[in-house]
Amino acid sequence: MSQSTTDRSPSGERHAAGRGGPLAHVLLNIALAALFTALFVRAQALPSSMWEPLGSGSFPRLVLAALVALNLAIAFKEARAFLRQSPGERGQVGAWIWRHRLAFAVLALFAVYIIALPWLGFSLASLAFLLAGQWLLGARSLKALAIAVVVALVFSLGVDTLFRDVFVISLPRGLFG
């Protein structure tokens, strides 16, 4: 019994088997639109010079605005395709999300790490991220937790010391540094 290499979506489009369907495209394009929106806001703070009447952030903001519009258009199109799917096909999406829950959890943990980095500083944020990540990935026994603590200490404090003393690059210190 062979599995076909392509599937048809309700809109008649062909998707490769095993690839993300409309919901995956919606989520990806919304995430990209959010990222490009954040970059759009940050581009306003680019320094300007007297030689650039529109400012140095004008071209990046134009490109980012176009990317946001494109991603939102794709997300809207794929959301319509997802809503046209049968309930059985939508149930497969939930099963796919459940199978990949660990990847989503690590991604969410990384997002929290990036947000906390300016406030906690590199060492403390990295220590917490590495400990939580190792626990999330299965370090539950006393031996595994001890190894996780050693790894987290070496990589958070060690990398900070390496960058500060060897490369002479200051990583974020945070409110407690």
How distant, in Å, are the alpha carbons of 5, 34, 74, 135, 136 from that of 84?
22, 25, 16, 40, 36
Claim to verify: residue 34 and residue 17 sit in the same structural domain: yes
Average the pLDDT over 149-158 and give the result: 95
Claim to verify: residue 60 and residue 104 sit in the same structural domain: no
Claim to verify: residue 11 and residue 64 sit in the same structural domain: yes
Which of 48, 71, 99 is a domain's end point? Answer: 99
- What's the mean pLDDT when you consider all of the chain? 84
Cα separation, 134 vs 155, whole angstroms: 13
Cα separation, 22 vs 15, whole angstroms: 9
Question: What's the distance, CA 94 to chain centroid?
Answer: 20
> Long-range contacts made by residues 65-74, C-beta under 8 angstroms, separation at least 24?
65/40, 67/32, 67/33, 67/36, 68/33, 68/36, 68/37, 68/40, 71/29, 71/30, 71/32, 71/33, 71/36, 72/29, 72/30, 72/33, 74/25, 74/29
pLDDT of residue 142: 96
Cα separation, 69 vs 90, whole angstroms: 26
Claim to verify: residue 60 and residue 48 sit in the same structural domain: yes
Claim to verify: residue 90 and residue 118 sit in the same structural domain: no
pLDDT of residue 18: 46
pLDDT tens by residue, 93-117: 777 788 889 999 999 999 999 999 9
Claim to verify: residue 10 and residue 20 sit in the same structural domain: yes
pLDDT tens by residue, 12-59: 544 444 456 788 889 899 999 999 999 999 888 877 767 767 777 788
Phi, psi angles (nearest 5°) of residue 151: -60, -45
List of E strands, the chain: 6-8, 14-16
Claim to verify: residue 85 and residue 17 sit in the same structural domain: yes
Can you give the residue range of the structural domain that contains 46? Answer: 1-99
Which of 65, 99, 133 is a domain's end point? Answer: 99
Number of compact structural domains in the chain: 2
More confident residue, 13 or 149: 149
pLDDT of residue 90: 67
Claim to verify: residue 93 and residue 106 sit in the same structural domain: no
Claim to verify: residue 34 and residue 68 sit in the same structural domain: yes
Claim to verify: residue 1 and residue 72 sit in the same structural domain: yes
Global confidence as pTM: 0.57
Which of 99, 126, 159 is a domain's end point? Answer: 99
Claim to verify: residue 66 and residue 85 sit in the same structural domain: yes
The pLDDT > 70 percentage for the chain reads 85
Is pLDDT of 175 > 50? yes
Claim to verify: residue 85 and residue 130 sit in the same structural domain: no
